[in-house]
Amino acid sequence: MQKDALNYSLFAFYFLAVIAVFSVRDHAFFWDTIQLGSKHAHWYFDHRFQHFFLPAEIDSGHPPIFGMYLAIVWTIFGKSLAVSHFAMLPFILVSIYCFYRIGELLAPGQSIYLLLLLYADPVLATQSLLISPDVVLVCFFSLGLWGILARHSLLKCIGIIGLGLVSLRGMMAGLALYCFQIFHTGALSPKAMIRALPPYLPGGLLALSFLIAHHVATGWIGYHADSPWAPSLEKVGFTGFVRNIGILVWRFLDFGRVFIWPALLILWFRRGKEVSNDRSWSLSFQLTLATILLLVPSVLLHRHLSAHRYLLPIFISINFLFYQLLFCGNRRLSPYRKLLYGLVVTGLLSGNLWIYPKNIAQGWDATMAHLPYYQLRIRMLDYLNENGIPLQSVGTAFPEIGSQQQKDLQSSDAGMVEKDLSSQSYIFYSNVMNDFNDAELQELEQNWEEETSFQKNRIFVILYRRK
């Protein structure tokens, strides 16, 4: 009976995933998905897959497989936003199934608690609603992890191959899984570490082959001096390093995650004897340690590599740790543990309501608070069209700069341009834009007129006109 209930829960999650994707089927490409999804896919689609490597102006150093995948899907089913969103659904469903199976391995019969916890996380939930390569990364990360815990070499191999092909961070996540296996099995001798390698070799060799071929073709790996992303990848000094530590701590507390840390401490100290008698919790601790060791250094050493989605494998691992501490030693939840779980899940869900003052930048692709923007954006575009205001005459900031075709997949290649308050007559601003500095916001509010504005659930868009 319990197994049937769990199967029903799994199918309920599948159903909710389909409904969620259907509900956002008209949402435009947003934030980094414009670059990593739409622009890459358009290149392959428009050039009929005649080239493998991307042109320098849109090549961000990652394997271009995600863009190729979208372009293939467009070729088969037609180029539309709905097709693009539903192209993410297989990866979402595989992730849910893998998380379910991992939950059964960590705490049999309790997988529903893990699924609810994971998808209460605003970062994972929001990325799952975007046309994002991180949806693919999470899919193959969960598949590889399941392969390790289930001692299934083929699953592990497929997971590592997928991680190696999706992005540079995917490669690092694959290496983190290898380190986790070493920690987990205690295979710390050189011979044991070599024996653990075979399932990782195909993915590792594919990733290495891409990096070598990319270097031969372009002369660089990761980024180059003239890359649009070069400033983000600049190495930082001591001051920048300390600043990045502060940002990293913020990321670990942001969007409701602040609730999980006291809960972990309470479980650890209140259930000390049970925890010490049941070492199963150490699996998730080792996974958390491996992901932190592999993913955090790049965040601390570079200027702007601290986006929430970059830390998804770590966030997932921390949620696994909470789940295992919740159930270790006793598979039944006492009233206080149910209360603790409920508070953590509610706290994470509340992260989707966190909107900072407009002078504070936040990760809009990591919270569902941004969802009203799509409708507001369409209303503003309609207003511009109805009033004969050319898009090229409107200044704005990321993510609205550039061709509408890259965002909406429309036929028009027109788009707004990068803001220049000294020369432009119109400025489009929204609080989902982080690239307006304090001086520019003050200038707009004091010396420009508000032509029109739209607002919903504390998300707003404003068209300013020069006085």
What is the predicted pLDDT for the residue at 5? 55
| CB atoms closer than 10 angstroms to residue 355 | 17
Task: Identify whether the C-beta of residue 74 lies closer than 8 Å to the C-beta of residue 49.
Answer: no
- Phi-psi sector, 109: left (phi>0), alpha (psi -120 to 50), beta: left
Residues whose CB is less than 8 angstroms from the CB of residue 76 and which lie 6 or more positions away in sequence, other chains included? none
What is the predicted pLDDT for the residue at 219? 86
d(CA 266, CA 440): 45
Q: State the amino acid at position 170 in one-letter form.
A: G
What is the predicted pLDDT for the residue at 192? 78
d(CA 73, CA 451): 40
What is the predicted pLDDT for the residue at 1? 43
Report H helices in 365-451.
Answer: 372-386, 405-408, 438-447
Instruction: Give the CB-side neighbour count of residue 302, counting CA atoms within 13 A.
Output: 18
Task: Identify whether the C-beta of residue 182 lies closer than 8 Å to the C-beta of residue 188.
Answer: yes
What is the predicted pLDDT for the residue at 113? 93
Q: CA 203: distance to chain centroid? A: 21
Backbone angles phi, psi at 196, to 5 degrees: -80, -10
Q: By three-state DSSP, how is residue 146 classified?
A: helix
What is the predicted pLDDT for the residue at 186? 74
Burial of 180 from C-beta contacts in 10 A (0-12 / 13-18 / 19+):
buried
What is the predicted pLDDT for the residue at 331? 66
What is the pTM assigned to this prediction? Answer: 0.94
Neighbour order of strands in the sheet with 394-396: 402-403, 415-418, 394-396, 426-430, 459-466, 448-456
What is the predicted pLDDT for the residue at 268? 84
| CB atoms closer than 10 angstroms to residue 214 | 21
What is the predicted pLDDT for the residue at 6? 61
Q: Which residues of the chain have pLDDT under 70?
A: 1-6, 224-231, 272-280, 329-331
What is the predicted pLDDT for the residue at 183? 87
Tens of pLDDT, residue by residue over 235-292, are 889 999 999 999 999 999 999 999 999 999 998 887 766 666 666 678 889 999 999 9
What is the predicted pLDDT for the residue at 424? 94
